[in-house]
Amino acid sequence: MHILAISSGRDIQTQKWEALAKSGIDALMIREKQMEARPLLELGRWIMNLAPELPLWINGRLDIALALGVGFHGGEDYPDLPPLCPISRPLHRVEQLQGRTNADQLLISPVFKVPGKSKPLGIAGLHEIINNMPPWRGKLLALGGINYKNVAELQHHRLDGVALIRGIWDSDDPSDMVGQLRSAWVSS
């Protein structure tokens, strides 16, 4: 099971970032939309020094991703990109695949209800999207309202894992949350 942690965009607390980077996640996406270029670049460098083995993604800032030599997550309206670096994209409907042909990672969302997001897909909708996708070379991750209580329900032979924002950032102990997620995924 692959676990991608996505930053909450609420605040930068050094201790929280450190705990998360060392929690056993498989990758980290910096999603700090209000952060200016220089501080974002410095945050990326700091995380890379803190956890050099942890794959890093930058949300919405291709310039920063290229400067750091890490993955880039292009949002909903981002055009299909040539493979300049690893590319991640959101996926809400199978029809969107046409504009995501070069993506190395797709975040299928929202699975469950999340404040400020569109109507949730639900488990049936998640599986319907996956079942109707052509063979895919990259990672498929579920996103949206996922936690250790509902993660086992998501499993599909083509789903590589999950991406979490609140489910991991709001946790008092990210390592414990990662352990609970992995345990729930394996036990089902």
What are the tens digits of pLDDT across the range 154-175? 999 999 999 999 999 989 999 9
Beta bridge pairs of residue 161: 2, 141
40: left (phi over 0), alpha (psi -120 to 50) or beta: alpha
Using a 10 angstrom Cβ sphere, with 0-12 exposed, 13-18 middle and 19 or more buried, the burial of residue 155 is middle
- Least Cα distance to 133 among 97, 182, 109 occurs for 97
In the chain, domain spans: 2-187
Q: Which residues pair with 23 in a beta bridge?
A: none
Q: Give pLDDT, residue 113.
A: 93
* Cβ atoms < 10 Å from Cβ of 71: 19
- For 88-127, the pLDDT digits (tens) are 999 998 888 887 888 999 999 999 998 887 899 999 999 9
Q: Tens of pLDDT along 57-89?
A: 999 999 999 999 999 999 888 888 888 899 999
Task: Give residue 159's identity as a one-letter amino acid code.
Answer: L
The token duo for 113 is: 């209800």
d(CA 91, CA 99): 10
pLDDT at 188 over 70: no
Rounded to whole angstroms, the Cα distance separating 133 from 40 reads 34
Alpha carbons 34 and 29: distance in angstroms, whole number? 15
Rounded CA separation 163/101 (Å):
20
Q: What percentage of the chain carries pLDDT values higher than 90?
A: 76
What's the chain's Rg over C-alpha atoms? Answer: 16
What confidence tens digit (pLDDT) does each residue in 21-62 have? 999 999 999 999 899 999 999 999 999 999 999 999 999 999
The predicted model gives 123-136 an average pLDDT of 93
Q: Which residues pair with 108 in a beta bridge?
A: 91, 142
Residue 180, pLDDT above cutoff 90: yes
Q: For domain 2-187, give the fold.
A: TIM Barrel (3.20.20)
Amino acid at 84: L
Total-model pTM: 0.95
Q: Name the token pair of 179.
A: 């352990």
